[in-house]
């Protein structure tokens, strides 16, 4: 079946511009995660959505970062006034979160963001 998809696959922008990154999770998955992978670094948790609950935004690095999840499905990560340090691969993952472990996360291919 279809996996997690992300768009665009690559995004080059100028410093100070806003960008929107999109994630389409696996159908039926109630949990959705955003991570950031910087060069040579592991994955940094950004935000987590679970159903209709308030999202866990504890990983967002600054107030320039925000995310929405509409209708419990598609999610958009928005970065305002981009900075060069925002350059990274942004990965989205979804999981079934059935309440029974393990709650395996399935990842999309990522969006590579380059801020010039």
Partner 1 sequence: GEDVEQSLFLSVREGDSSVINCTYTDSSSTYLYWYKQEPGAGLQLLTYIFSNMDMKQDQRLTVLLNKKDKHLSLRIADTQTGDSAIYFCAEWTYGNNRLAFGKGNQVVVIP
Residue 2 CB contacts under 8 Å (≥ 6 apart), including other chains: 26, 27
Residue 45 binds partner 1 (CB under 8 A): yes
Q: Which of 19, 24, 26, 33 binds partner 1 (CB under 8 A)?
A: 33
Residue 40 binds partner 1 (CB under 8 A): yes
Alpha-carbon distance of 90 to 109, in angstroms, equals 9
Question: Would you say the C-alpha torsion 103, 110, 72, 76 has a positive or negative sign?
Answer: positive
Residue 4 CB contacts under 8 Å (≥ 6 apart), including other chains: 23, 24, 25, 26, 92, 93, 94, 106, 107, 108
Q: Which of 21, 108, 113, 115 binds partner 1 (CB under 8 A)?
A: 108
Kindly identify the residues of this chain, within the stretch 55-94, that bind partner 1 according to CB under 8 A: 56, 59, 91, 93
Residue with Cβ nearer partner 1 (33 or 65): 33
Residue with Cβ nearer partner 1 (15 or 98): 98
Sites of contact with partner 1 (CB under 8 A): 4, 6, 33, 35, 40-43, 45, 48, 50, 56, 59, 91, 93, 101-110
């Amino acid at each position: 079946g279809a996996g997690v998809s992300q768009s665009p696959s690559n995004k080059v922008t100028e410093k100070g511009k806003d960008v929107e990154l999109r994630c389409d999770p696996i159908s039926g998955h109630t949990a959705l995660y955003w991570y950031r992978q910087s060069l040579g670094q592991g994955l940094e948790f950004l935000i987590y959505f679970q159903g209709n609950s308030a999202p866990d935004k504890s990983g967002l690095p600054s107030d320039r970062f925000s995310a929405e999840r509409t209708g419990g499905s598609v999610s958009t990560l928005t970065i305002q006034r981009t900075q060069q340090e925002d350059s990274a691969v942004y990965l989205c993952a979804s999981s079934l979160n059935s309440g029974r472990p393990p709650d395996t996360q399935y990842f999309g291919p990522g969006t590579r963001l380059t801020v010039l």
